């Protein structure tokens, strides 16, 4: 089963389970929106429609939050899972948000265009480290000057001991929040596709790709939001 098949299989119930499986949901997505919003608001103030590219957009969770925070954005959603994208398109259409969905692998060339923000949530950790670095270079090249790249991500611990601790804390938190054994087993099955990397490595790759003001804006155990700005 590919990673896209694994997510397509749960497309109908994906959104409902998110707040249990991402215990820091509000701060995690909220920080991502805060980090991505300034160039979008600047584009609007300059009389331009802000363009946003959402990599591994799934059911459109992050795209919808961005569109609610900055009305007037135009979104391009990329994902390899057609059923996930169908849910996203339905939700964006229902809210009248201008968008296009592109079924593609994150290793493919990005949809043509220049973007005020390239964002991603919980998707890039499915790529190899070489794939992440290559995608970061392509994402940075697709930004307008002053545009931002923000990745809300599941990351690896910097040491094996910390990585084990991240997993213990996550398991305890999602159990407290009501995930049952079946939901945890299904999440762990999907996590067999994961290849997370530590935050420090990924911030280094973003700097190497040409971003400035690279930082980790939020981190709670295995959940981190990091990114930077195109000079």
Residue of the chain from 62, 87, 118, 150 that contacts ligand SAM (CB under 6 A): 62
Residue of the chain from 17, 27, 69, 105 that contacts ligand SAM (CB under 6 A): 105
Q: Which is nearer to ligand SAM, 42 or 216 (CB)?
A: 216
Q: Which is nearer to ligand SAM, 42 or 105 (CB)?
A: 105
Is 35 a binder of ligand SAM (CB under 6 A)? Answer: no
Is 81 a binder of ligand SAM (CB under 6 A)? Answer: yes
CB under 6 A: which stretch of 64-72, 118-126, 169-177, 208-216 binds ligand SAM?
A: 118-126
Is 118 a binder of ligand SAM (CB under 6 A)? Answer: no
Residue nearest to ligand SAM (CB): 58
Is 57 a binder of ligand SAM (CB under 6 A)? Answer: yes
Q: Dump the DSSP string for the chain.
A: --HHHHHHTTTTTHHHHHHHHSTTHHHHHHHHHHHHHHHHHHHHHTT---EEEEET-TTSHHHHHHHHHSTT-EEEEEES-HHHHHHHHHHHHHTT--EEEEE--TTSPPPSS-EEEEEEES-GGGS-HHHHHHHHHHHHHTEEEEEEEEEEEE---SSHHHHHHHHHHHHHHHHHTT--HHHHHHHHHHGGG-----HHHHHHHHHHTTEEEEEEEEEETTEEEEEEEE-
User: For residues 165 and 155, is the Cβ–Cβ distance under 8 A?
Assistant: no
Residues near ligand SAM (CB under 6 A), total: 19
CB under 6 A: which stretch of 41-49, 117-125, 162-170, 221-229 binds ligand SAM?
A: 117-125
Within 10 A of 12 (CB to CB), how many other CB atoms are there?
Answer: 12
Residue of the chain from 39, 56, 147, 228 that contacts ligand SAM (CB under 6 A): 56
Is 79 a binder of ligand SAM (CB under 6 A)? Answer: yes
Residues 4-33 binding ligand SAM (CB under 6 A) are: 4, 7
- List of residues contacting ligand SAM (CB under 6 A): 3-4, 7, 56-58, 61-62, 79-81, 84, 105-106, 121-123, 126-127
């Amino acid at each position: 089963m590919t990673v896209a098949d694994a997510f397509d299989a749960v497309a109908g119930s994906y959104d409902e389970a998110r707040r249990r499986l991402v215990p820091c949901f509000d701060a995690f997505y909220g920080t991502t929106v805060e980090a991505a919003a300034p160039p979008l608001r600047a584009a609007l103030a300059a009389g331009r429609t802000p363009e946003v590219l959402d990599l591994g957009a799934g059911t459109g969770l992050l795209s919808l939050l961005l569109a609610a925070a900055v009305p007037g954005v135009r979104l391009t959603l990329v994902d390899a899972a057609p059923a996930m994208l169908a849910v996203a398109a339905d939700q964006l259409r229902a809210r009248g948000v201008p968008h296009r969905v592109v079924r593609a692998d994150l290793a493919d060339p990005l949809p043509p265009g220049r973007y005020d923000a390239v964002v991603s949530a919980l998707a890039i950790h499915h790529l190899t480290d070489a794939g992440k670095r290559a995608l970061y270079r392509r994402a940075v090249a697709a930004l307008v000057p002053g545009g931002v790249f923000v990745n809300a991500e599941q990351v690896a611990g910097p040491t094996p001991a910390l990585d084990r601790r991240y997993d213990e804390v996550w398991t305890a938190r999602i159990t407290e929040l009501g995930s049952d054994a079946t939901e945890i087993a299904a999440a762990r099955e999907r996590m067999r596709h994961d290849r997370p990397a530590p935050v420090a490595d990924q911030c280094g790759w973003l700097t190497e790709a040409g971003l400035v003001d690279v930082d980790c804006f939020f981190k709670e155990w295995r959940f981190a939001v990091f990114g930077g700005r195109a000079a």
